Amino acid sequence: MDTELIGEPFIPQRTLLGPGPSNVNPRVLQAMLSPLLGYLDPDFLKLMDDVSAMLRQVFQTRNALTFAVSGTGSAGMESGFCNLLEPGDVVVIAVNGFFGERMSDIARRQGADVYRVDSPWGQPIDTDAVRQEMKKHPAVKMLAAVHAETSTGVLQPLDELSQIAKEYDSLLLLDAVTSLAGSPLNIDEIGVDFCFSATQKCLGAPPGLSPVTASEKAVAAMLNRTNPSRSWYLDLSLLFDYWANNRRYHHTAPMSMVYGLREALRMILEEGLENRLNRHTRNADALWAGLESIGLEFVVSREYRLNQLTSVYIPEGVVDTDVRRALLYDYGIEIGGGLGEFAGKVWRFGLMGESSKDINVLALLSALEAVLPTHGYEVGRGVAVQAASTSFANNRSN
């Protein structure tokens, strides 16, 4: 019987400058081609230990329970709620974007009593409103928030939230999917009890693993549950047993992903966390100078703007998808559209991890200078690239 091959064999090269995934360094891809090992092979177990040790450095924590859950960022998110909450537990969730909404949905599915504190999209969380809400409930088990809201580009300051969680003796859960290794985040210093991230943003690996870390207080809450977590696959005590304790089989580890994450973490530590954050700042500054010079309006004020994700309003009369399609097919550049209430209204430019490069800033701005005028928005040729180049020059001489 004749077999017909389906689909093009060729996968195009793209510059990924959207909300994630971001580009991956060839070293990481190369590591992923390494031979498979068994999930209990001592060499693989050693590799898992390396990953946990390096994740502790990147999360800046001494938490024993620190490893990578199999699955994307949403798996880490779900693992936090399904291990720390039981039916009837009270949780206050600060929502100022799409991913805060997702956390509320997940918490509700655990049977928890969810109290949302909503703040407008594009603005940080109103911590006075959070405090008011916490006051209303005598036994709040958890306060949850998103550190870097990828749907809007807001970086949430954490000091006040941490203070409130302490005042009410509740667990603090933090979504660091977009912030880890792109924005300053010191888990132990801030006092975060449970934090999750994802490999495909500032960590610089493909999607597929979700690094998590849990404080002793969070581990105690997991151990003191009345009933086991409703999710077997995401039961963190079973997973921890495999990652660190008895090394008992739980599920077949996606070893190629673990190889990739290990290499990505090695690269982060080689570069140095602080240098990496500075790189994200320098490239963001140049991008902002370029966008500003051509009159695009930012969604988030500078004080709260993420370095790794910048949202701008789509100018009047310009068709969102036409511009994104032109960037993708004519320039090989992916940017993001809006999510939820921002759908069709904003563009999101990501400079995350490996994608946060000066040449990417210049390529994106020159592509915008070429594309926007043909789609109804006049831009002086060379203006944005010039502004970005000046910003780079100034930052280098500092």
Ligand X SMILES: Cc1ncc(COP(=O)(O)O)c(C=O)c1O
Q: Does 156 bind ligand X (CB under 6 A)?
A: no
Q: How far is the CB of 259 from ligand X (least distance, A)?
A: 19
203 near ligand X (CB under 6 A): no
**Cis omega (within 30 of 0) on the bond before 254?**
no
Cβ–Cβ < 8 Å for 239, 250: yes
Q: Compute how many other C-beta atoms are within 10 angstroms of the C-beta atom of residue 210.
A: 26
Distance CA 130, CA 168 (A): 11
Residue 150 interacts with ligand X (CB under 6 A): yes or no: yes
Question: Which position among 91, 146, 158, 277 is part of the footprint of ligand X (CB under 6 A)?
Answer: 146
Among 34, 74, 237, 281, binds ligand X (CB under 6 A): 74
Residue 114 engages ligand X in binding (rule: CB under 6 A) = no
Q: Phi-psi region for residue 247, left (φ > 0), alpha (ψ -120 to 50) or beta?
A: left
> Is the distance from CB of 139 to CB of 63 less than 8 angstroms?
no
Report the site for ligand X in 31-60 (rule: CB under 6 A). Answer: none
Q: Are 294 and 312 in contact (CB under 8 A)?
A: no
Least separation in angstroms between CB 52 and ligand X: 20
Distance from C-alpha of 336 to C-alpha of 352, rounded to nearest angstrom: 13
The minimum distance between CB 57 and ligand X, in angstroms, equals 22
Q: Is 178 in the site for ligand X (CB under 6 A)?
A: yes
Q: Which residue is nearest to ligand X (CB)?
A: 73
What's the rounded Cα separation, in Å, for the pair 192 and 266?
24
Binding mask 286-325 for ligand X (x = CB under 6 A): ----------------------------------------
Q: Are 16 and 364 in contact (CB under 8 A)?
A: no
Q: How far is the CB of 88 from ligand X (least distance, A)?
A: 26
Separation between Cα atoms, residue 1 and residue 392, nearest integer Å? 61
Among 73, 124, 315, 350, binds ligand X (CB under 6 A): 73
Considering only 191, 207, 295, 332, the residue that binds ligand X (CB under 6 A) is 207
Which residues contribute to the site for ligand X (CB under 6 A)? Answer: 19-20, 72-74, 77, 99, 146, 150, 175, 177-178, 198, 207
